[in-house]
Chain A
Amino acid sequence: MARVVLAENIRKNYFLGKVVVPALRGLSIEIEQGEFIGIMGPSGSGKSTLLNLIGMLDTPTSGSIQINNQKVSAMNENERADFRLSHLGFVFQFFNLFLELSAIENAMLPMMLRGIAHGRCRERAKEVLELVGLAKRMHHKPSELSGGEQQRVAIARSLINRPPLILADEPTGNLDTLTSLEIMEILKQLNREHCQTIVLVTHEPDLGRRADRIICLRDGEIEN
């Protein structure tokens, strides 16, 4: 299997005035293509910080990160933005859809940002919305969709550019149990049927157990 993520000895410090607060303390991980990784740990263990660094939303204080064999930790801001657009998909806890856009417009947005023709974006958005079971709701605005449906749109949006890696930060944190299981099933299905690499941050053991491999963090270090 090809390696999708290689993080070596990454450290992340935050500063509270002059006080240094270490969030990650020299952590190394490797993720291969097609893996479904669950990152778990108590609050403040560094789960989201790790996801932000892999997702290139933040830069490590030291250490290096490679995604698809490209050293992303050395990239400048514009290069990171371009890389995120073409190589990464994000699913957030609060869905974070654009309220003024319909489901299909939300889903097609990352593809439009790449400058691809509107018609092709729309066709691909229909495909991914069908994949997440939302074909009949594609013209509805987020305010007309349930929480589960909104999260499905967010998953469709993360898939539209066929990224090698999807990062999901507590994607079920705002949903009821039944809907959470549905969302997890969609992610699992994508991983199983499309060999989609997924990194999922969760603090719910029931959901974490559905991952192929669990990385447990505590105080900025890998526990197991």
Chain B
Amino acid sequence: MNLRTLFFLAIKDLTKDVKVLALVVMAVGSGAMAIIPLSGLMLGFSNYLSETTIDVSSGHVILSPEKDEKLIKKADLIKRAIENISGVQGVSIRLVDSTSAITKKENRSVLLNAIDAASESQTTTLHEKIIKGRFLDSSRKNCIIIGSELSEDLKVEVGDSIAIQFSNAQKMRFKISGIYSTGFHEIDNGIYMNLPEYQRRMNVVNRASQIIVRLKNPKLAEVLAERLREWQIQAKVETWKDRLRFVEGLQQNYRFIQRIVIFLSIASAGLATGVLIYTNIQHKIRSIGILKAIGTRNCRVLQLYILEGLLIGISGASVGNAAGSLICSYISTHPLQIRTSLSSNLVTAEFSLSLLILPTLIAISVTLAGSLYPAWRAARTNIIKAIWHG
């Protein structure tokens, strides 16, 4: 029996009851379908986390104080040296302070970042996240920008004044020039002020809590980090990937749970396939006997029913992939609001062909596995019993 005859018989057998076949294909397909938008959303969400963290917080390479040190020394010198490296788009010095934001009714502990507005605009996109008012300007004194969540908590608006008590107990009033929103709870509960003003008031010169670097080509982050480590600066050098290890961990955990759920859902579809083929075999045991009587080898009968399982798997995967891709494409144009402990944002699903590999493999392997036992039973059918007692 050649492959064409095998296909002929398998397709004729499968399509004799189109409704049942459609239900089984849909069952397999629904398992496969669920994977694609979920994976697409996960990809979109992790890419969103990475990009936003780089954009508003970490840059591509981050220098932070070494262990047991509070600040990086010779920060201005380091900044200028890094700026001279080709491929560097921007370098920003940040001084971070634990402060209290005080209004008449509220008193909140907040993290304050002192930044140089011009350098920061070349390094991060924080200036693009302003939703009310304007970004920091080094020429305007006593101004701050605050996160949207903090402004809601403190019930303050652009133009209002709030008191900031610094870590050295010094207390000053600042006018809110702008409110920003990044989607990250931690950042949106913070305050930014001008670096020179902070340095002057706190008498901290040529020091930094962080130096962040943005590259024209993000892929060169590791190369730059290695180069900076070779300089033997008294600072810890990390790339954005080091900083975002938690996202990777989050992804891994998610993928693990996702695979279990998907495997279980498709396994039940595989079981349905197995039951379909098994029931089919039970009902046509006489036909199998005849097929063998007229000269079909046992191995060909085995191949026939495995092929049926394979065809169900391929059809299910195709239907599931098509439907999943459509849902994924819909979510990519209609973002979902995803709230986590880290952020609350509209996230789109990102589609890539690699997302189709896993559902296809799972659907085919599970339906194949589901067809093995019935196929084996069919191949072992006793011809005489099947024909005369089937």
- A: residues with CB less than 8 A from B are 48, 52, 55, 57-58, 77-78, 81-86, 88, 90, 92, 94, 96, 98-101, 105, 109-110, 112-115, 118, 157
Contacts and interface: CB of A to CB of B under 8 A. Distances in A.
Given A100-B12, A100-B16, A109-B294, 17 more contacts: A57-B293, A57-B387, A77-B298, A78-B297, A82-B295, A84-B294, A85-B294, A85-B295, A90-B294, A94-B286, A96-B290, A98-B290, A99-B287, A100-B13, A101-B12, A113-B1, A113-B295
A142 B300 CA distance: 24
Contact of A81 (B286, B287, B295): B295
A96 B390 CA distance: 11
Nearest to A167: B293
Contacts of A85: 294-296
Given A96-B287, A100-B12, A100-B13, A118 B4 contact: yes
Given A92-B387, A96-B387, A113 B16 contact: no
B387 A113 contact: no
B297 A84 contact: no
B292 interface: yes
B73 to A, nearest CB: 83
Contacts of B2: 115
A59 B296 CA distance: 17
Nearest to B292: A81
A85 B297 CA distance: 10
27 contacts: A48-B388, A52-B384, A55-B293, A57-B293, A57-B383, A57-B387, A78-B299, A81-B295, A81-B296, A82-B297, A84-B293, A84-B294, A84-B295, A88-B295, A90-B290, A94-B286, A96-B287, A96-B289, A98-B12, A98-B291, A99-B287, A100-B15, A109-B294, A110-B295, A113-B5, A113-B296, A115-B2
B287 A98 contact: yes
A221 B15 CA distance: 47
Q: Which of B289, B293, B295 has the most CB of A within 10 A?
A: B295
Interface of B is mostly: helix
A81 B292 CA distance: 7
A99 B284 CA distance: 10
Given A82-B295, A85-B295, A58 B384 contact: yes
User: Majority SS of interface residues in chain A?
Assistant: helix
Contacts, number: 72
A157 B297 contact: no
Size class of the contact patch on chain B: 20 to 34
Given A57-B384, A96-B286, A100-B12, A115 B294 contact: no
B254 interface: no
B256 interface: no
A109 B293 CA distance: 12
B297 A99 contact: no
B224 to A, nearest CB: 64
Nearest to A115: B2
Contacts of B290: 90, 92, 96, 98
Contacts of A94: 286
A86 B12 contact: no
B8 interface: yes
Given A101-B12, A105-B12, A112 B5 contact: yes
A167 to B, nearest CB: 10
B177 to A, nearest CB: 78
B12 A157 contact: no
Interface in B1-53: 1-2, 4-5, 8, 12-13, 15-16
